[in-house]
């Protein structure tokens, strides 16, 4: 059955981007899985047009939790570009709704991410255990028991927003962000998870670290995962972490 409660609107973002904002005609909480699936599907269809060079002027389409950013080259467009872009959006949106009606509308891959929960890397586990009224072992089990969805990439290149975890892991961000976190740090907040690809500031609770290089501009693809993929965390020992880190 084709979903009928989904809709979209347009917003301009600067002078070279159009934001397609998706919404539902009923109450919903963010992140909404259906809206995220729709955003990812719509972005994929626009990116296919870019590859096929069938809609001149578009540079890239980037999905977020519930929007798609369409970025275009001002030197390659004319006054008819935006009307054509909006017409093409309506066409692609109809295809998205049809695909959402299929049970297999998710086509992302499963990506395994090794994580070391040793307290040297999971620097907030003791504090989290007290705040969540869970043992450290229970936190690790809840964090690694099932694959979680890549909602979007953002904040910095290669940084994924993942979720949703069990409600037992629902905790707000830290009141005061840290100014520096090691590359590969894995953190949770609001039933979601991020992995910091670089040494960076961050305000989420650190539960462990991965030895993997998450973003490499010289690698194709540059990231290990894309929006719509599933990530399965695999617990590894400190010895395995150090071995993988230096391969």
How many domains are contained in the chain?
Answer: 2
For residue 137, being part of any structural domain is answered with yes
CATH number of the domain within which 155 lies: 2.40.100.10
CATH number of the domain within which 45 lies: 3.30.1360.40
Residues 34 and 141 occupy one common structural domain = no
Residues 93 and 145 occupy one common structural domain = no
Domain boundary, last residue among 68, 100, 132 = 100
Q: What is the DSSP string of 145-158?
A: SS-EEEEEE-SSTT
Domain boundary, last residue among 100, 122, 140 = 100
Q: What pLDDT is recorded for position 106?
A: 66
Residues 209 and 166 occupy one common structural domain = yes
CA R_g for the chain: 20
Range of the domain at 162: 110-245
Sequence-ordered strand ranges (E) for 13-57 = 17-24
pLDDT, tens digit only, all 247 positions of the chain: 667 899 999 998 888 999 999 999 888 788 999 999 999 999 999 999 999 988 888 999 999 999 999 999 988 888 889 999 999 999 999 999 999 988 665 678 999 999 999 999 999 999 999 999 999 999 999 999 999 999 999 988 999 999 999 999 999 999 999 999 999 999 999 999 999 999 999 999 999 999 999 999 899 889 999 999 999 999 999 999 999 988 7
Query: CA 35 to CA 228: how far, in whole Å?
Result: 12
| Closest alpha carbon to 207 in 246, 174, 167 | 174
Q: What pLDDT is recorded for position 101?
A: 86
Contact 223/154 with Cβ under 8 angstroms? no
For residue 1, being part of any structural domain is answered with no
Domain boundary, last residue among 47, 67, 100 = 100
Q: What pLDDT is recorded for position 133?
A: 98
Taking the complete model, does pTM exceed 0.85, yes or no? yes
Residues 91 and 174 occupy one common structural domain = no
């Amino acid at each position: 059955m084709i979903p009928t409660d989904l809709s979209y609107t347009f917003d301009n973002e600067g002078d070279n981007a159009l934001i397609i904002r998706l919404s539902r005609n009923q109450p919903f909480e963010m992140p909404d899985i259906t809206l995220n699936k729709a955003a990812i599907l719509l972005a994929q269809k626009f990116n296919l047009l870019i590859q096929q060079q069938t809609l001149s002027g578009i540079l890239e389409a980037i999905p977020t939790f519930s929007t798609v950013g369409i970025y275009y080259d001002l030197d390659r467009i004319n006054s008819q570009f935006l009307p054509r872009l909006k017409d093409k959006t309506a066409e692609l949106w109809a295809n998205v709704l049809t695909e959402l009606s299929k049970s297999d509308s998710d086509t992302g891959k499963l990506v395994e991410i090794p994580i070391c929960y040793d307290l040297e890397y999971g620097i907030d586990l003791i504090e989290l255990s007290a705040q969540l009224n869970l043992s450290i072992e229970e936190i690790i089990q809840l964090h690694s028991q099932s694959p979680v969805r890549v909602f979007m990439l953002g904040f910095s290149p290669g940084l994924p927003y993942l979720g949703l975890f069990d409600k037992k892991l629902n905790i707000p961000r830290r009141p005061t962000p840290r100014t520096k976190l090691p590359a590969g740090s894995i953190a949770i907040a609001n039933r979601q998870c991020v992995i910091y690809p670089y040494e960076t500031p961050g305000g989420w609770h650190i539960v462990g670290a991965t030895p993997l290089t998450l973003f490499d501009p010289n690698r194709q693809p540059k990231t290990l995962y894309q929006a719509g993929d599933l990530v399965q965390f695999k617990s590894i020992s400190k010895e395995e972490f150090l071995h993988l880190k230096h391969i």
